[in-house]
Amino acid sequence: MDSLRSKENLNQFERIFGKTNSHPRLFVAPARINIIGEHVDYLGGIVLPAAINFSVQVLLRPNHSSIYQFHSITYNETIKIEKPFQPHPTSPWTDYITGVIVEIEAMGFSVPGFDLLVDGNIPQGSGLSSSAALEVVTGFAISESFGLGIKKETIAVIGQKAENNFVGTKCGIMDQFIIAVGKENDCISLNTETLSYSYHHFDLNDHEFYLINSNVKHNLKDSAYNQRRLECESALGKIQKMFPKFKQLYDVNLSEEELLACGLTPEELKRTHHVTSERERTKQVIFGLEKNQFLEVGNALFATHESLSKNFEVSCDETDFIVSTLKGLGAIGARMIGGGFGGCVLVLDKKDHFAKINEEMKKSYQQKFNLALDFYKFQISDGVKEISI
């Protein structure tokens, strides 16, 4: 978001919460994409995410009381929160902030009262992690404003715990982690079991990644996201009874006969197939990007979408249509990203192909679903940070 909007938000902050001798501080956290490694970040898998230049920003100022006041520009409402903390019955957006306070205090820190204004331009329900960005920027803003000195990697874990425990979505660590540690022009490969990670810089030359928003909104809590996680945990439990060496579903490398002998349900078998095949596709994508073998990368993206649609069953008619139409138009690769059931499709293609794709896709999607498509170009950006105002 631009500096003019930040200045407007500062003025709005002071209108709502009043002027004092101390100025609020401005913090910003990006959105994210994940190139490969979908629905494996809560199963010990390796993922390849990058931070991108959509963002959530907060202005925070201590108020020297025990009361917490949050204002959302998006929802145009101010909510007052006091202890004991409970999920808010009518303004669930506040739970992502309150949950972070709960988790920081669980570490032994004290978080005094503060005033906070939040604004953002990450399309909600797009699968670009607006919720994780809010958690991470809140955690970082609290740590910096109160001198807590919490490392960014730890802030990512705090954000995940807030979403798991207070919000109630059993998400993995990937979104919060890349939003915390992202670096301009780099993605990371993150081992979600050990949280070890490394930066990767890729030169796409005459190719580009971009996003297409299906404009079908999803809410992970109301979708089958938590059910998929339970199915994966159940599958692993059954496999471990016969093959105790496997600590994570991502590590399983059994034959079809061996998997069937474990007594998996048809659903558990499909989930396992997605997770273990995604491991091989992730290797293929990292190698392909490093060697500029973009057709290999594109094939892996299409294969991941097929697996997410048929084996993990988290796609929908709209995103399936977008990906199949892109394939028919000659795009190099595409797949749904995020939790599923709508949201965005990530596309890899040649830059000079964009205008044709844009025109053809918008027309065919409107005819099929009576919905508009939005195309997002993006830059890979830094993770959470403070901005001077």
For 358, the 3-state DSSP assignment is helix
Beta-strand relationship, 207-213 and 46-47: unpaired
d(CA 182, CA 33): 11
Which residues form the catalytic set?
Answer: 175
d(CA 306, CA 314): 10
Tell me the three-class secondary structure of 138-159, residue by residue.
Answer: HHHHHHHHCCCCCCHHHHHHHH
Share of the chain above pLDDT 90, in %: 89
Q: Are 22 and 63 in contact (CB under 8 A)?
A: no
d(CA 185, CA 187): 7
Beta-strand relationship, 114-120 and 77-81: unpaired
- ∠ CA 340-74-136, rounded to 5°: 60
Residue 255 sits at φ, ψ, to 5 deg, of -75, 165
Query: Which tokens hold the place of 230?
Result: 């339970």
Comparing C-alpha atoms, which of 180, 172, 188 is closest to residue 382? 180
For 46, the 3-state DSSP assignment is strand
d(CA 216, CA 342): 5
Comparing C-alpha atoms, which of 332, 93, 329 is closest to residue 204? 332
Residue 373 pLDDT: 96
Query: Which tokens hold the place of 199?
Result: 């930066």
Residue 389 pLDDT: 83
Ranges of the chain with pLDDT below 70: 218-223
Which domains, from first to last, does the chain contain? 3-202 (3.30.230.10), 207-376 (3.30.70.890)
Residue 219 pLDDT: 62
Beta-strand relationship, 114-120 and 68-72: parallel
Here the contacts of 84-89 (C-beta below 8 Å, separation 24 or greater) are 85/166, 87/166, 87/167, 87/168
d(CA 327, CA 333): 7
DSSP code string of 206-231: TEEEEEEE------TTTTTHHHHHHH
β-bridge partners, 334 = 347
